[in-house]
Amino acid sequence: MAQVVIENPVLNSPYEEPSRHFYFDEEGITDKVLESRRLSSYFIPIAKPKKKGKQLELDTEWTKDRIEENKFINDVRHIVSRWRFSNYEGVTSTTRQLLEYWRRAEREKRLYYCQIEAMETAIYLGEAADRQGGSWILRD
């Protein structure tokens, strides 16, 4: 496997939804950039055969064939994103004001996108999921 050196691994602003990521192939991470948000996923570790008297080791090769998608997380991200683009349909006026405040670019201490997305998800579950067809999230 060829060693890939990525000089600057930061592709996205912490204040915006991620829109680019590095591609993984059969040999591991590449320097090829894809113009989309990476799906939530994880790598499946595979234990090497245990030899008598040695501690179990995990094979840490991060290759495409070991990636497992977090389908539930990706589904939740998708439905919350649709709700965001509907201008947070179904929230109270107080919640709408908070969401607008948190997203303001001129805030002294801007929130990272991941922080806003987490708050949006919690608000969606608490205020809008039942009315927006997302109640399945609460039951899974």
Could you report the per-residue pLDDT of 96-127, keeping only the tens digit for each? 999 999 999 899 999 999 999 999 999 999 89
User: Residue 109: exposed, middle, or buried by beta-carbon count in 10 A (0-12, 13-18, 19+)?
Assistant: exposed
Taking the C-alpha atoms of residue 79 and residue 60, their distance in angstroms, rounded to an integer, is 33
Mean pLDDT on 65-88: 90
Closest CA to 137 of 74, 91, 93: 74
Beta-sheet strands, E only, within 1-140? 21-25, 28-34, 41-43, 46-47, 58-59, 67-69
Question: What DSSP designation does 133 have?
Answer: T
Supply the pLDDT for residue 56. Answer: 57
The pLDDT value recorded for residue 132 is 74
- Stated length of the chain: 140
Residues 128, 135: Cα–Cα separation, whole Å: 9
Nearest by Cα to 123 from 96, 101, 86:
96
pTM of the full structure: 0.78
Specify the amino acid at residue 115: Q
What pLDDT, in 10s, does the model give residues 6-57? 889 999 999 999 999 999 888 888 999 999 999 998 877 766 666 666 665 5
